[in-house]
Copies of this chain bind each other. A is one copy, B any other.
Amino acid sequence: MTTLIKSFGVAVRQSREAYGWSQERLAEYSDLNRSYVGEVERGDAIASLQTIEKLARSLGITPSTLVMRGEVLSQANLVRGLQLAAIAC
């Protein structure tokens, strides 16, 4: 799995928790399977554009915004890794 796929999952989880929703509720609103939503959140499943669209609509944002949230988290992780590497050097 790429960093973006993991970070996308975290972005979905954070966006869901911002509403105080359970995975069950997000899955229901998105017309997706609960366990599949869990896999996407953990980065164990790669979401398709259709899944991204369904999740984003439920969360009241555009698909590109949801992907961008994943990118931001991915970049933040990269920066943190570089900072740790710099400290270790």
> Which residues in A have some Cβ–Cβ distance to B below 8 Å?
2, 4-5, 8, 46-50, 52-53, 62-65, 67-68, 71
- Determine how close the nearest CB of chain B comes to the CB of A40; give it in whole angstroms: 9
User: In whole angstroms, how far apart are the Cα atoms of A28 and B19 in the complex?
Assistant: 42
Residue of B nearest to A47 (CB): B49
The oligomer's copy count stands at 2
A2–B57 Cα gap in the complex (Å)? 13
* Nearest-Cβ distance from residue A49 to partner chain B, whole angstroms: 5
The reply to whether B49 and A5 contact each other, CB–CB distance below 8 Å, is yes
Contact A4 B63 (CB under 8 A): yes
Assembly CA distance A50 to B50 (angstroms) = 13
Tell me the minimal C-beta distance from A46 to chain B in angstroms: 5
Contact across chains for A4 and B49 when beta carbons are under 8 A apart: yes
